[in-house]
Amino acid sequence: MKVIRPLLTKIPKIPRPDVKNRAIKISENAIKKTQTANRFFLEVGEFGLFLWLTIKALFSRHFEFKEFLRQCFLVGNKTLPLISLTGVVIGLVLTIQSRPILAEFGAVSLLPGMVAVSIIREMGPVVTGLICCGKIGSGMGAELGSMKVSEQIDAMEVSSTNPMRFLVVPRVLAATFMIPILVLYADALGILGSWAGANLKGDVTFILFFTQAFNSISFSDFIPAVIKTFFFGAAIGLVGCFKGYTAGRGTASVGKAANQSVVLASVFVIIIDLIAVQITDVLQ
Amino acid sequence: MKTDNRISPEHASRPAASTVIEINELCKSFGKLQVLRNLSLQLFENENLILLGKSGSGKSVLIKCIVRLLIPDSGSITFLGKNVMDLNSEELAEMRVKIGFLFQSGALYDSMTIRENLEFPLVRIKKHLTRQEVNEKVEESLENVGLLDSINKMPSQLSGGMRKRASLARTIVVDPMVMLYDEPTTGLDPVTSNEISELINRVQHKYKTSSIIITHDIECARATADRLIMLKEGQAYMEGSIEEFEQTSDELVESYFKSQNKP
């Protein structure tokens, strides 16, 4: 006992774990995570409801055809210069970068077909879709957001006009129908850009280049690519309108709505593309 | 003069049929903030009812509840004998046609000209009108507010007062029975404010409307009021005529009126 007692006294005290504080921290973290999850599910629910109201307004008796045409013009006309530039540059860059690799294998003659397939199947739709997210989605988000902030949407509602019918349906439809047209236009310019790129270090006639390009393309390349762009358009229109329509009251919320429209629409475009590729792969 | 939220005997003695809007025990909260607390009031036919009160006392929330832009937590709002909360979407649209709402910001559609702003509700509500009748109605409304010269201008080309007048023209173009004005003179110079007050009176006389006017502007209240109700913390604090409000010894009302009479 005489030996043990001094030893026992020398054993350092183990600090008692601060159970109370740790429990508080854990519960605070849990609350934060729950709140984030709640916000996410709330937003998913709101988007579902918004989608339902849009579909309901779409099939209502009164269709705002004039506003639909105006939105088609705005979507097409305002995006055209940017799409033109992007289309040409995609074709040009793809050709300039692919040519040396193909030349190594003596397969330069495959260049028009390879570029055309990659532009029509993937590059044209996705790049145009993403550009439209920035240009059209943010525009819709900001426009409807500022209408919300300046009480214009409320004014429409109290004057017995359904804002969904006048503001949302024409915009969503315009995006759905105009984006495929813009994609086809971008594809055509991309192939034209590719021909220009091919002529920077070679000499290929326009007819020869296009004959080789179109010989490599089949309807199975073309049709799924076009179909998915309708979904890109619908997603961009819906997300832009949803974010604008549900914007907060302050002016800062307009910028936030525009920004979130771009981010969310881009995510949607990428996800839709992924799903479309999988479906096409299975079907082929 | 009253200091509770019941209608004064003078007004209560009116025949029940002349009541256009009746609000009973209305409550509305935003989260933990209770904006309206058991508020009750009535709007009678052909009267201009002024709602006074500090910012945040629930005035704008009240008129937004009337047109169901906001849903109250409890209580009832009756418009021409029908409970607003029980209306289906078609009945609600019918009711909204009868109510004109002048927003504080004017809320003109900024992508449309003034003509298009006025045509927008008109062609959607009065579908039977011919093109010529629509044009005549639009021009008549703009003439009433003195803005016929600006018919083809965009809202961004108008001054604040002109925008308020254009917005008023858009509201009266569909011949409403009731007008709800949300701070019609806020942000305007005294001369333009007087013009707007005169316009409110002219609209009342010409279109035989009943109006609820939310304002902080005592001059506007003096020019337009048949009856005033002061709100405090979501409740009717005082009710009476403009003379009664000016003669009262109540501290809150006195300070409210004195603060605006300062040179």
Q: pLDDT tens across B74-127, in order?
A: 999 999 989 999 998 889 989 999 999 999 888 999 989 999 999 999 998 888
Asked if A141 and A180 sit in the same domain, the reply is: yes
Residues A50, A79, single domain; the answer is no
Residue A218 phi/psi, 5° resolution?
Answer: -120, 175
Which residues have CB under 8 Å from A62's CB, separation 6+? A165, B124
> Rounded CA gap, A35 and A255, in Å?
24
Which residue bears the tokens 């819709």? Answer: A140
A114 shares its domain with A204: yes
Flag residues of chain A having pLDDT under 70: 1-17
CA distance A164 to chain B (A): 14
Are A169 and A274 in the same domain? yes
Structure token pair of residue B81: 């004998």
Kindly state the tokens that stand for B259: 């603060």
Same domain, yes or no, for A204 and A273?
A: yes
Quick one: A207 and A263 in the same domain? yes
Residues 6+ apart with CB under 8 A from A190: A87, A88, A90, A91, A94, A115, A119, A123, A124
Shared domain for A115 and A246, answered yes or no, is yes
Q: Give a yes or no: residue B1 inside a domain.
A: no
Contact between A120 and A222 under an 8 Å Cβ cutoff? The reply is yes
What residues of chain B lie within 8 A of the CB of A147, using their CB? 109
Residue with tokens 């949302």: A168
Residue B255 forms part of a structural domain: no
Interface mutation target, options A160, A165, A167, chain B, most CBs of B under 10 Å: A160
Domain count, chain A: 2
Of A59, A74, A94, the last residue of a domain is A59
Specify the 3-state DSSP secondary structure of A247. coil
* Residue B4 binned pLDDT confidence (cut-offs 50, 70, 90): very low
Contact A158 B101 (CB under 8 A): yes
How many domains are contained in chain B? 1
Using CA atoms, how far residue A231 sits from A40, A88, B164, B178, in Å, is 23, 24, 42, 45
DSSP letter for B148, please. G
Question: Amino acid letter at A273?
Answer: D
At residue A87, the pLDDT reads 93
Q: Is A160 close to B109, i.e. CB distance below 8 A?
A: no
Enumerate the residues of chain B whose CB falls inside 8 A of the CB of residue A161: 120-121, 124
Residue type, B230: M
The answer to whether residue B138 scores a pLDDT higher than 80 is yes
Question: Which range marks the domain in which residue A77 is found?
Answer: 64-283
Domain boundary among A28, A44, A59: A59
Confidence class for position B14, pLDDT limits 50, 70, 90 = very low
Burial class of residue A77, CB neighbours in 10 A (0-12, 13-18, 19+): exposed
Give residue A17's pLDDT. Answer: 66
> What does the pLDDT read at residue B238?
87
Same domain, A143 and A254: yes
Q: With contact defined as beta carbons under 8 Å apart, do B119 and B75 qualify?
A: no
Same structural domain, A218 and A125: yes
A115 shares a domain with A22: no
Q: How confident is the model at residue B242 (pLDDT cuts 50, 70, 90)?
A: confident
Between β-strands B74-79 and B178-182, what pairing exists: parallel, antiparallel or unpaired? unpaired
Shared domain for A101 and A233, answered yes or no, is: yes
Strand-pair partners of B83: B78
Contacts A157 to B, Cβ<8 Å:
69, 96
Question: Which residues does chain B have within 8 Å of residue A159's beta carbon, measured at their own beta carbons?
Answer: 96-97, 101, 120-121, 124-125, 170, 174
Note whether residue B143 is domain-resident: yes
Show the domain range for B224.
9-247
> Chain B residues contacting A, CB < 8 Å?
64, 67, 69, 93-94, 96-97, 99, 101, 103-105, 107-110, 120-121, 124-125, 170, 174
Q: Within chain A, where are the H helices?
A: 4-10, 19-58, 65-104, 111-118, 124-132, 138-149, 152-158, 163, 169-198, 206-215, 219-245, 252-283
Same domain? A122 vs A15: no
The enclosing domain of B81 has a CATH number of 3.40.50.300
Residue B262 counted as domain residue: no
Residue B15 pLDDT grade (very low, low, confident, very high; cuts 50, 70, 90): very low
Is position B259 within any domain?
A: no
The top-scoring range by mean pLDDT among A17-31, A142-156, B9-23, B175-189 is: A142-156
